[in-house]
Amino acid sequence: MRSSVSNLRSATKSGKKRIIRYSLKMSIKKEKCVQKTDEQLVKLTLKNQDWFFCIVRRYEGKLLGYIRRISGVGQQEAEDVLQDVFLKIYQNLNDFDPDLKFSSWIYRITHNQVISNYRKIKARPQSIFVDNENIFDGIASGLDLNREVNLRELRKVIRRALTRIDKKYREVLILKFLEEKDYQEISDILKRPSGTVAAQIKRGKEKLKKELLTQNLL
């Protein structure tokens, strides 16, 4: 596995983007990747490094979007973080706990890497990155609105409001409604008790409702 780790490091240092998948031998066909579960891919990668390509292919887009949503950075910076994330995932596969959902484990690594990279940044994200405005519909339905509102306008307000609420509430709401994680997954990713996660989601929704009230949407 060391040769591939070296390749990943070289790709990161050289500044090349979206290079991880090409830094590994592409001897594994896409069809074979799709047929395997996450847990199977972990076991296969530990025996044959080529299988890591499948993990990258499966999670590259999801993790890149998550990095941009919780940090507010642009595409280029997010890709730099993603390089570091996949390197850490690769280096620590031996330490993966099979009792934990693999997706939760790599989201935790991603979240911690973002925090580590931007620990000194005090400003909140100016905008929440989305590749499809419809993803805000989940938050809207979770707010239990009392009357019909203009959906397009509601999405805009929710997007703005997410940048204004406290980080601890923004994190759980993004994971719950934009990343579509359940309470246990959020608990595992953020290493917070499930009860705390539930309370923070409830409180976060209340804060979003308050913002909607100021916009006369409720």
CB 189 within 8 A of CB 115: no
Task: Give pTM, 2 decimals.
Answer: 0.80
Q: How far apart are CA 176 and CA 142, in angstroms?
A: 10
- Classify residue 124 by its DSSP letter: P
Burial class, 11, CB count within 10 angstroms (exposed 0-12 / middle 13-18 / buried 19+): buried
Q: Domain segments of the chain: what residues?
A: 16-127, 130-217
The pLDDT profile of the chain, 218 residues, written as one tens digit per residue, is: 444 444 555 544 444 444 455 445 556 788 889 999 999 999 999 999 999 999 999 999 999 999 998 888 888 999 999 999 999 999 999 999 989 999 999 999 999 999 988 775 544 455 565 555 555 566 666 666 555 666 677 777 777 888 888 889 999 999 998 899 999 999 999 999 999 999 999 999 888 888 777 766 55
**pLDDT score for 4:** 45
Place of tokens 């246990």: 184
The b-or-e profile of 40-79 (16+ CB within 10 A means b, else e) is ebbebbeeebebbbbbbbbbbeebbbbbbbbbbbeeeebb
Helix (H, G, I), strand (E, B) or coil at 212: helix
**pLDDT score for 117:** 84
Phi then psi for 123, rounded to 5 degrees? -70, 145
CATH class given for the domain over 130-217 = mainly alpha
Residue in 46, 1, 38 with CA at minimum distance from that of residue 23: 1
CATH for 16-127? 1.10.1740.10
**pLDDT score for 123:** 47
Three-class HEC string of 53-100: HHHHHHHHHHHHHHHHHHHCCCHHHHHHHHHHHHHHHHHCHHHCCCCC
